[in-house]
Amino acid sequence: MRPLSAFLALALVTAQLNYAQTDPARSAPRFGPANGTLMIVGGGAMSHLVEPFFELIGGKDASIVFIPTASGDVPPNRYSEYAERFTRFGATNVTVLHTTNPSEADTESFVQPIEEADAVWFGGGRQWRLVDAYKNTSVEKALWRLLERGGVIGGSSAGATIQGSYLARGDTRNNQIMVGDHEEGFGFLKDVAIDQHHLARNRHFDLFAIRSQYPHLLGIGIDEGTAIIVRGDQFRVIGSGYVAIYDDTFWSREGHSLKELPPKESLFYFLRAGDRYDLANRAVIRK
């Protein structure tokens, strides 16, 4: 039997994640998925985020497809190592799916596990590898169908960035080039560039390189051990760290009318666990 504190924590997470189901803005989302849910993790240790993920997908017996392709060469003898990232927490139905060949990714047999899945999870590495293998293939189409039927797409680090429409750090030479030779992600979140390992790697100013060229994009920087849960045009922050927002405005719990702020193109601010954000209006949702 779980301790009472675990049940209370899980109940709190459930209540937090259900906030958008009755929200009118969810009826016609413009930026997040019309159906389904995204879980976007900033990398690092995430053992405390596994239970919320299980809650989203319907429990430990739900069907999970783990895609480790961002890691590079993933031989079959390592598949169990990737599956263990969920099975060690009690998941009973994890399939590892990997190829670097877009022709293989375009076959019916390859995408069948996604067609039958409740959730897909993208692991870390270099996000451009996911583009090279799966962009404009049957895999990408199957991912959209997963969302359409109410499924969950999650990912950490590279698996976070790939979910945005703009592919931050998408250069094949190194991961410090923000505007690189790969610029298009899967676009589950539209008009958004997502960065990860935000505070842990002092990446506070890196998203400005993207926004200086594409000022219409919303920048989202997610720290390690932290996630946003996206439903429709809203998201909520969970986890142990912070999420930085780059939307040409500033927000603070203590107010900011007396602060001396830099120009709007240099502004960003932080959200923490429990905070909610409106993607359509680009504004913090007041509690």
Residues spanned by the domain of 122 = 4-284
Give pLDDT tens digits for 90-148. 999 999 999 999 999 999 999 999 999 999 999 999 999 999 999 999 999 999 999 99
Per-residue model confidence (pLDDT) at position 16: 47
Q: What percent of the chain has pLDDT over 70?
A: 91
Distance of alpha carbon 227 from alpha carbon 46, whole angstroms: 9
Residue 1 reports pLDDT greater than 50? no
**SS3 for 81?**
helix
Nearest to 159 by CA among 239, 17, 44, 18: 44
Per-residue model confidence (pLDDT) at position 179: 98
CATH of residue 246's domain is 3.40.50.880
**SS3 for 7?**
helix
Distance of alpha carbon 36 from alpha carbon 50, whole angstroms: 18
Distance of alpha carbon 287 from alpha carbon 274, whole angstroms: 10
Mean pLDDT of the chain: 92
Q: How many domains does the chain have?
A: 1
